[in-house]
Structure 1
Amino acid sequence: MRLRRGVSEAGRGIWAYVRSAPGTYVWLTVLFVTTVALHHMSPEFEQEFLRRRSTNLHELSRHPVRVLVASAMWIDGGSWLPYVVLYSVFHARAERWLGTARWLAVCAAAHVLATLLSEGALAKAIRDGLAPRSAADTLDVGVSYALSGVVAVLVYRIRPPWRYGYLAGVAVFYTVPLVAAPTFTDFGHFVSFLVGLGCYPLVGGRERVRDPKETAPAPPG
């Protein structure tokens, strides 16, 4: 009886947490459906299917709005379960803090600006002969740019001096790959990190409205 009551209370607590961040869990549900759909495709069809929803140079030049939205609804391989953890730790916390509209604005800004700047850098590299022309069709889907922006904006939710340790850890996480063996995706992650930090105006004083007992989230990895 006691066990049943404990399970029931845990279930109510989980449901209350999910309801407090509706945008996060609607997005996770979409990712679950699209991931299941991908697992039912042949590898060849899957790659072509994702390429048409990719924010590569070819698709961005033809259907920019469509692919910017569609690319954030798919995971390029891998499991859906790690995203449940990442979304619950970072996205849900940010949405509960900022509200759905402001949280979504951070996600959109990070996703769009990081995509455009990283693809712009790739276009320049192709023009300068530093990257092959085939790179214009490179597969580029996923949710990591939006996640990076949200990880960064959560800096403002943490009370000093813990804020500076969290900021240093996140900065190292996104800077080291860019310095060690940079790719255009690494550049995009770094840009989205900076965009998240630049979203301070959306915080609107909410950095002071928090539960001091809550601990800082750890960077994804």
Structure 2
Amino acid sequence: MNLSSTAAQKATEPLPAPTLDGIPRQQGRAGGVRPPVEAAPDEAAAADRSTEAHPSAAAPAATASWRKLRPWRILPTPTGTPFTFGYAAVLAGTSLLTQYADPSFVSGLQQGSSTDVAHLTQQPLLVLVASALWIAGGITSPYAIGFLLVLTALERRIGALRTAGVFLLGHIVATLATEVPVGLSVLAGHLPDSSLHRLDYGISFGVAASVGALAGLLTPWLRWTVLAGFGWMLVDDLIAFTDPMTNWGHLLSLVIGVSTWPLVRRWRQARGPDSSGRAPREA
């Protein structure tokens, strides 16, 4: 064997990469150490540019979820909740009229809109609608605030016409259920004739029914929290005994709303995903 040829052949072979004691060498295709793979300059630059262009991609999941909540959706809009928005505009107009118009003129309008027994026997349809155009207690009353929040949430889940149906159901049924006993009591001689003209107007019955209906579409813990808190407020008013007929009407309206749970849940499922693209959740 030619020693010079063998030495030249060994000189041309690549030298094995240095290794550390106790760490096995990883074999490459040619038996050597596989070199570390580094990103190409163009790929690294593209990744940097992508992170800069889309910073939300690197944001925590909690932050992304918070951005999807869109807190302004708790208020009505002309396109998203047309019934609540239009109704709120009417109530704002009558509230401004109450505050700035002549008190005697406003008193005459409210008296003519009252759902007392005398008006219900003469013009039932007119006063049932007209009585719901006023806010008892003014625009800053708890029922006015509840109207905006509750009806907006309900309309986003079941639609405008169905929300109007729930509201009117509570308003009409609770009104008749509280006024008819008054008329019967007057006929029986248990109440004076002046009770036939008891001033009765406002949106509270419809709002209470809407609260009960909306509770059926919420998650269980939130559902029972809402019902317990609102129900306790109504019971506390009843205990105070300042206006027992109206207070009983509020409790009855809440029960009416709760009784619509099977119906509103079916409507919610039939409506499908809301305007945010979210599918309905099982209650």
What range describes the TM-score normalised by the shorter chain of this pair? 0.7 to 0.9
How far apart are the structure 2 equivalents of 1:162 and 1:82? 20
Structure 2 residue aligned with 1:35 = 95
Q: Indicate whether 1:70 and 2:130 are aligned.
A: yes
Q: How many Å apart are 1:101 and its aligned residue?
A: 1.6
- 2:265 matched to 1:194? no
Cα distance in 1 for partners of 2:202, 2:214 equals: 21
Aligned residue in 2 for 1:173: 233
Q: For residues 109-166 of structure 1, give each alpha carbon's deviation from its aligned partner in whole angstroms, at most 9, with x where no partner exists.
A: 0000000001012223323444321121121111111000001111111212332233
The number of equivalent residue pairs is 202
> How much does 1:79 deviate?
3.2
Distance 1:119 1:190 in 2: 15
**Rounded Cα–Cα distance in structure 1 between residues aligned with 2:88 and 2:219:** 29
- Normalising by structure 2, we get a TM-score of 0.63
Deviates more, 1:134-143 or 1:160-169: 160-169
Give per-residue Cα distances to partners, 1:21-59, cap 9 Å, x unaligned: 110010010111122223343323322221111111111
Q: CA offsets per residue over residues 147-197 of structure 1, 9 Å max, x none?
A: 000011111112123322332222222233234425111111111111111
Structure 1 unaligned runs (5+)?
1-12, 213-221
Per-residue deviation, residues 47-85 of structure 1 (Å, max 9, x unmatched): 222111111111111000011011111224523586663
Q: In 2, distance between residues paired with 1:169 and 1:83?
A: 14
Higher helix fraction (1 or 2)? 1
State the SS of the aligned residue for 2:200.
coil
1:139 to 172, 194, 199: 199
Please say if residues 121 and 184 of structure 1, whose CA atoms lie closer than 8 Å, have aligned partners that are also in contact.
no
Residues in 2 aligned to 1:142 and 1:165: alpha-carbon distance in whole angstroms: 26
- Structure showing greater Rg: 2
Alpha-carbon distance change, 169 to 15 in structure 1, aligned in 2, over 3 angstroms: closer
Q: Which residue of 1 aligns with 2:280?
A: 209
1:158 equivalent to 2:218? Answer: yes
Query: Matched residue of 1:131: which SS?
Result: coil
* Identity over aligned pairs, percent: 29
Q: How does 1:116-127 map to 2 (within 5 A)?
A: 116-127=176-187
Q: CA deviation at 1:103?
A: 0.8
Other structure's SS at 1:147 match: helix
Aligned 1:90-101 pairs, distance under 5 A: 90-101=150-161
Quick check: 159-168 or 75-84, which moved more? 75-84
| C-alpha distance in 2 between matches for 1:176 and 1:83 | 16
CA distance in 2, matches of 1:179, 1:125: 22
State the distance in 2 between where 1:154 and 1:83 align.
15
Q: Is the 8 A contact 1:35 1:80 kept in 2?
A: no
- When the two chains are superposed, the root-mean-square deviation of aligned CA atoms in Å is 2.8
Mapped partners of 1:24, 1:202: distance in 2: 20
Change (3 A) 1:158 1:115: same
1:68 partner amino acid? L
Q: Which runs of at least 4 in structure 1 moved beyond 4 Å after TM superposition?
A: 13-17, 80-84
